[in-house]
Structure 1
Amino acid sequence: MVCGGFACSRNALCALNVVYVLVGLLLIGVAAWGKGFGIVSSIHIIGGVIAVGFFLLLIAIVGLIGAIHHHQVMLFFYMIILGLVFIFQFGVSCSCLAINRTRQEGLFSSTWPILSNKTKTELEKNLDCCGLLNSTADFQTFQAEFVVCPAKCKTLLGKDPRAKCLTCGEKMLQHSDEALKILGGVGLFFSFTEILGVWLAMRYRNQKDPRANPSAFL
């Protein structure tokens, strides 16, 4: 059955925005959980995830209120913002799916020098690795980072002949392909739900409330 009635369009738009509210709360909760358990303590990473979750939560609340009250202005701004989010998210998702291993190495190499020492230390400790990419990075820089590396694998070198300390770049590249595909796929899926939200809001705005005065404007 086609959802063409006023009540059906309103309920579908409300349900979609409830999902967005839950996703926004989930992002904020995951960031707080990661901070509380010490997985990532960088204020920039935590702040970025919380900002994305809060922004999505704000958009969802605007859409939810607009859908409940059939508010023309709120629905209009909801459509515009959600359309811009779709364009940005669609581009980022396609980029994630298109990045190959060579580009990933270049991205790691350009990002590693600008990371704070605290963030580098956390990565080395959590991933049990030292430095970025010994084969591509400057050898003196790699040696300087290896001296202060807090990874457990470093303490085993010389004690266990089978011990090996991989670089963080090698470890991240082992999982980056899968992570980028998952991230790109999930982002692409949600981008199409945003198009659905824009279409529902546009359709809902142009429908007359059967409970309203028949002589009133849309």
Structure 2
Amino acid sequence: MACGGYTCSKNSLCALNILYVMVSLLLIGIAAWGKWFGLISSFQVVGGVIGVGIFLFLVALIGLIGALKHHQVLLFFYMIILFMVFVVQLSVSCACLAINKEQQDLLLEVGWNNSESTQRDVEKTLNCCGFSSVNLNRSCEAACFLSGSCAACKAKIEEHTEEVLHFVGGIGLFFSFTEILGVWLTHRYRNQKDPRANPSAFL
């Protein structure tokens, strides 16, 4: 059967949703691994990543079941949810790619001040203390703290921020186009008749 027909649309949609299932399991696995080995102590960060992974898994599951059964209602809701995810993800990806240095610094400072567990993770990983200045009157997880040779974390974080934002923005942009492809495939597939079904049956 030519690509663009019923079977091709069904197989393409199934393959796309299997990819989403794998990505969601990868997200959940990485977050759980980071928490288990003590790389991430912030429950909010781990919970957020696992929450995104579970949401993606459920959406992919709806799409996969809808594709396998050619279920009109499931495919409709899948298409709507996927389109909303596409809009949000495209917006966030463009914001990540377009953000300037002043906005980066403001976001970093807000993020730093909002979570003490994130501060500890950053200090331990980058071997630094404090955000813009080192405060010797407070505890610090960095190995350099005992020797008194610690530098502030702001400069070290800024070294990685731009490339991380560009990486996240690029990955998000790539996946947003797979989502709009999924919306198009779902719309096409919903309006195709199963060649093995009764020709007089309602589509």
Shorter-chain TM-score above 0.5: yes
Query: Which residue is 2:11 aligned to?
Result: 11
Normalised by the length of structure 2, the TM-score is: 0.95
Query: Which residue is 2:168 aligned to?
Result: 183
Distance apart, 1:149 and its partner CA: 1.7
Q: 1: distance between equivalents of 2:7 and 2:199?
A: 16
Instruction: Kindly report which structure 2 residues correspond to 1:200-211, keeping only aligned pairs within 5 A, or say none.
Output: 200-211=185-196
Runs of 4+ in 1 over 2 A off after TM superposition: 154-157
The answer on whether the counterparts of 1:101 and 1:173 sit within 8 Å (CA) in structure 2 is: no
SS at match of 1:156: coil
Distance apart, 1:88 and its partner CA: 0.2
- 1:100 aligned onto 2:85: no
The counterpart of 1:195, out of the listed 176, 180, 190, is 180
Which runs of 5 or more structure 2 residues have no equivalent in the other structure? none
Letter paired with 2:160: H
Q: 2: distance between equivalents of 1:210 and 1:184?
A: 41
Letter paired with 1:53: G
Query: Which residue is 1:61 aligned to?
Result: 61
Q: 1: distance between equivalents of 2:181 and 2:126?
A: 39
Query: Which residue is 1:147 aligned to?
Result: 138
* Greater Rg by CA: 1
Letter paired with 2:76: F
Q: 1: distance between equivalents of 2:165 and 2:114?
A: 21
Letter paired with 1:193: T
Q: Label 1:154 to 1:2 Cα distance change in 2 as closer, same or farther (>3 A).
A: farther
Query: Which residue is 1:172 aligned to?
Result: 157
Query: Which residue is 1:88 aligned to?
Result: 88
What whole-Å deviation, never above 9, does each CA across 1:136-166 have from its counterpart, x for those lacking one?
Answer: xxxxxx536x631231122233xxxxxx522
Q: 1: distance between equivalents of 2:172 and 2:59?
A: 17
Q: 1: distance between equivalents of 2:155 and 2:115?
A: 17
Letter paired with 1:126: T
The answer on whether the counterparts of 2:18 and 2:60 sit within 8 Å (CA) in structure 1 is: yes
Q: 1: distance between equivalents of 2:141 and 2:23?
A: 35
Query: Which residue is 1:28 aligned to?
Result: 28
Q: 2: distance between equivalents of 1:44 and 1:2?
A: 48
RMSD of the TM alignment (CA)? 1.5
Identical-pair percentage: 58
Which runs of 5 or more structure 1 residues have no equivalent in the other structure? 135-141, 158-163
- 1:126 aligned onto 2:122: no
The answer on whether the counterparts of 2:2 and 2:8 sit within 8 Å (CA) in structure 1 is: no
> How many equivalent pairs are there?
203
Distance apart, 1:2 and its partner CA: 6.5
